[in-house]
Chains A and B, each alone.
Chain A
């Protein structure tokens, strides 16, 4: 067991866990934030994506020790009231179907738009190809990212 400190959504936590435990299970089962999902456990599907010091990471394959003294942001930290422009765009474009992969998709899209305010289709492909959606919401994800980019410049933008 090891004692590890970090912040999740700006709140400080110290956990006493097996140092090999992936960050995903610490977030879900120790901290109790279940918006971040398990999909494959081998960093192939992106359902577990969170931001670690602003960078998207696969929490299923990252040992909790890698998060020591760092800032983690999960889907719950983006905004609880869906006010973030990416969440807004996701709702306007009616992206989710089953919704299970969408936390990861949204965290990846948010990170992309932070780096690149005007992503092209190729930029979107590059940033989102690690994220699997079995329901097939990809055409809408593409549209929603473009809408979110507009909203970030002009919050009243509509699809």
Chain B
């Protein structure tokens, strides 16, 4: 049996199809712009691994493999919506199944960097158009009618003159024998019927009646439940444990020490495995564990921030991007400005805490869980467990939030270790406290910005020095002297073109605290520093903050965004006693501008009257999904700006649950209006880029109203 037949069989198993089908994929061997679209039969004959995304069976049912995770951002809808457009089928005829993790089949599956659509839409369009053309060709041969006399519509091929129709299902057997076309013509966005329409999401009905299966809901036969007492300090070793009381409790099956990989280190803990989750949770309380925490510093937030504040002042930065001569241009500037901004450590706080099922048997491992990067888990967990990647199967469930945290492999690795040790399938459950205190966290940051204005108020020198933990420096063998190439994330590319002198550098902070991507990653904090400082510069120059930014726009796309933002928000009609703030950031190839209006309530407290957002993400799929993602991004940003932060004391995270990590609630949710720009630019990200501009737009609005500049997050809105 060859690998190819296994792949096909897997696909058929996944999709639940039987019998003849037209199955198309893209040859992975040469994955790139021109990689060929192939049928399953051709791929097999040529011994090419096929990533099978699409299949039409004799009943006309279209099955699409969603290679990305669905964590709320809408890939479950976006991928089929792209396929349905060029294939000319009703979205309701399309069945969606989650792919298993396989780098060789799907290319990168990591749902991060807002990349699902922007990373694959061109391939998906070409794949669907190829299938449509093959069905048209099959009909043309069957009827002996010229291809030009036929149209594809709603899952059928129709003869234009006679109106005679044949369903795709009746054509798949013939179409499967044809060669896919070498080139296909894609539709103009003007002709789209499905794309760019606010089609209802197909996962939503599953999420209103309790049917959607999240990781935590998944059960497999014979499954045991585990909870793990992990060291609350991040690098500590397990010294000893006393499980005599815990072992005697009802339902307890095993108690064992475990290690799971967190970047270059092993996080240590003691796992309690029982026949029910409740039993495991009770027994864990009876466990007595001693840790050895002598080999590393126990940082507090005060120490970390004192260090970062000192670093931005005194240490030379690792330089990433420079142009001209910042130092000289700054020194000769007519007006010089300097400001320090601080952003907190944050937890992802997904509503579904971490959890993962692993079943290790006969040197094979199967994993089920809420996983953002199934292919990464397959590769990395295989490596850690000493298995071949093909012996590790990773199944995605729905994710109850991800935001970057569920792209990490610690929790699947831990589940695999426990399953291997006890030789049984097991679900590892993280309590909210486990989820909140173990990280990885968004790193806290301190930024020092300096800028120089000419005597005409033109910005001629701009500098940012960022102090904070570098996520990449945690990897095994990382070069700790490597600069952070994300220090300009969030900054508009157009500014870099138009500013004569700039310098971006970073000073990495060393700490055992694990840090990781958090929705919009470095942009989520960089944006606050950049866009607050530009506002400070605009005020120093005596220029309207939106007009000030326009002075540095290099191309029309940015002007269009600013014009739209000005128009929808009524920026020109601002009144006294209102505070207005604007910010524009660029993140994962999308540009988002936001305006916030604030005022004082009769009791003197500040309230957010309204938020306007304009998203330019280029080519796009579903405007309603985009609106939802921008609304959600704004609310998550508002929460991080005004509600919560993770602090550390003696090397441990202090906030353990929602009683101390205060989540944003409906009472604090402002009115939000989102607009999507229509253009033909390359597709950019959707799930994250709406987040970075919100906080600076808010604090800029507060400055406009009160004259008070907020440079440290979080702050209490009601105390300004």
Contact surface of A with B, Cβ cutoff 8 Å: 17-18, 21, 25, 28-29, 33-42, 44-45, 47, 74-76, 78-82, 87, 90-91, 94-103, 106, 124-125, 128-142
The verdict on A99 contacting B432 (CB below 8 Å), with A34-B213, A37-B352 known, is no
Give the chain B neighbours of A47 by CB distance below 8 A.
351
What residues of A have a CB within 8 angstroms of the CB of B632 in the complex? 97, 135-137
Which of A38, A44, A45, A136 lies in contact with B635, CB distance below 8 A? A136
CB atoms of B631 and A140 under 8 A apart: yes
Contacts A29-B278, A99-B212, A139-B631 aside, 9 further interface pairs with beta carbons under 8 A come to A34-B210, A37-B400, A38-B216, A42-B432, A91-B200, A94-B201, A94-B624, A102-B207, A128-B665
- Bound Cα distance from A36 to B663, whole angstroms: 20
Given contacts A94-B201, A94-B628, contact A132 B665 (CB under 8 A): yes
Residues of B within 8 A of A106 (CB): 208
When the two chains form the complex, which single residue of A82, A91, A98 contacts B351, counting CB atoms closer than 8 Å?
A98
Determine which of B200, B213, B217 lies in contact with A94 in the assembled complex, contact meaning CB atoms within 8 Å.
B200
Asked if A139 meets B212 with Cβ closer than 8 Å, knowing A21-B278, A97-B632, the reply is no
Chain B hits for A87, CB < 8 A: 208-209
- Contact between B210 and A96, CB atoms less than 8 A apart: no
Residue on B nearest A86 in the bound complex, by CB? B208
- B210 CB contact (under 8 Å) in A33, A41, A44, A141: A33
**Digit string of B512-550 for contact with A (CB within 8 Å is 1, else 0)?**
000000000000000000000000000000000000000
Partner of B657, one of A44, A124, A139, A140: A44
Q: For the complex, is B206 an interface residue (Cβ under 8 Å from A)?
A: yes
Partner of A45, one of B204, B624, B658: B658
B72 at the A interface (CB under 8 A)? yes
A101 to chain B, nearest CB (A): 5
Output the least CB separation between B194 and chain A (Å): 16
Stretch at the interface among B235-243, B331-339, B667-675, B697-705: B667-675
In the bound assembly, the distance between CA atoms of A29 and B225 in angstroms comes to: 11
Instruction: For B663, list chain A residues within 8 Å (CB).
Output: 45, 132, 134
* Interface of B (DSSP majority class): loop
| B204 and A94 contact, CB distance less than 8 A | yes
Pick the contact of B276: A29, A124, A130 (CB < 8 A). Answer: A29
- Identity of the chain A residue whose Cβ is nearest the Cβ of B622 in the assembled complex: A94
Contact yes or no, B207 A82, CB < 8 A:
no
In the complex, the chain B residue whose C-beta lies closest to that of A97 is B72
Q: 10 closest pairs, A vs B, by CB?
A: A35-B210, A136-B635, A100-B400, A99-B207, A98-B72, A97-B72, A136-B632, A138-B669, A34-B217, A44-B658
Q: Are A90 and B351 in contact (CB under 8 A)?
A: no
CA distance in complex: A18, B249 (Å): 12
Query: Does B175 sit within 8 A of A, measured CB to CB?
Result: no
Chain B nearest CB: distance from A70 CB in Å?
A: 20
Bound-state CA distance A139–B613 (Å) is: 14
Query: Which residues of chain A are within 8 angstroms of B210 by Cβ–Cβ distance?
Result: 33-36, 74-76, 103
B671 near A139 (CB under 8 angstroms)? yes
Inside 8 A of A28's CB, which chain B residues have their CB?
217
Nearest-Cβ distance from residue B27 to partner chain A, whole angstroms: 34
With A and B bound together, what is the CA distance between A36 and B628 in angstroms? 24
Contact A35 B209 (CB under 8 A): yes
B201 adjacent to A131 (CB under 8 Å): no
- A-side contacts of B483, CB under 8 Å: none
Q: How far, in whole Å, are A141 and B278 apart by their CA atoms in the complex?
A: 32
Closest chain-B Cβ to A85's Cβ sits at a distance in Å of 12
Give the residues in chain A near B657, CB-CB below 8 Å.
40-42, 44
Bound complex: CA A21 to CA B350 (Å) = 25
- CA A103 – CA B213 in complex, angstroms? 13
Q: How far is the CA of A23 from the CA of B210 in the complex (A)?
A: 17
**Chain A residues whose CB sits within 8 angstroms of the CB of B401 once the complex forms:** 98, 100, 134-135
CB distance from B352 to the nearest CB of A (A): 5
A sample of 12 inter-chain contacts (CB < 8 A) reads A29-B277, A36-B210, A39-B353, A44-B657, A97-B629, A98-B398, A98-B401, A106-B208, A124-B666, A131-B665, A136-B634, A137-B631
Whether the Cβ atoms of A142 and B216 lie closer than 8 Å is no
What separation, in Å, do the CA atoms of A78 and B400 have in the docked complex? 21
CB of B164 within 8 A of chain A? Answer: no
